[in-house]
Amino acid sequence: ASKAPVSKAAKAPAAASTAKSSARVARRTSSQGGGGGEEPKKRKKARKETYSSYIYKVLKQVHPETGISNKGMGVLNSFVNDLFERIASEASKLATYNKKATLSAREIQTAVRLILPGELAKHAISEGTKSVTSSYCVFHDASYHKG
């Protein structure tokens, strides 16, 4: 009913591996922090760029009492990214066809006409033209979309 004694041979590799792992940790911390008891530096989280703040500002201009969920914001952010990519891609093709190296407002405008349907394209072009020709900015004008 008594347990068999554990031999020292079985414990030796465990002690050796512990010594190796502590040596690894010591090497890692000394190479990172420059020695003496400093904690290893934490890696900065990669910044994710979104249109969330701009979408929120426009929402508050149009419907001040309305909020938006994180999922809803994610959907709108994805929508803006998709539209931006489509317009940029189409404008790039247009510039290539016309043997131009630079995208100008004209290529962007034509791309918008090709991608967006009818009335939506007209509104987008008029807003874009207004934005380019004046110092007007939709995010700083509080009276925009009211009345």
Distance of CA 132 to the CA centre of its chain: 26
* pLDDT (average), residues 23-46: 66
Residues 6+ apart with CB under 8 A from 116: 124
CATH classification of 52-133, choosing from 1.10.20.10, 1.10.10.10, 3.40.50.150, 3.30.1180.20? Answer: 1.10.20.10
Read off the pTM. 0.60
Residues 6+ apart with CB under 8 A from 122: none
Query: For residue range 87-138, what is the model confidence (pLDDT) as tens digits?
Result: 999 999 999 999 999 999 999 999 999 999 999 999 999 999 998 888 655 5
Query: Does residue 23 carry a pLDDT above 90?
Result: no
What's the CA angle centered on 66, arms 64 and 71, to 5 degrees? 135
Residue carrying the six token digits 């911390």: 29
Give the C-alpha separation, 108 to 12, whole Å: 71
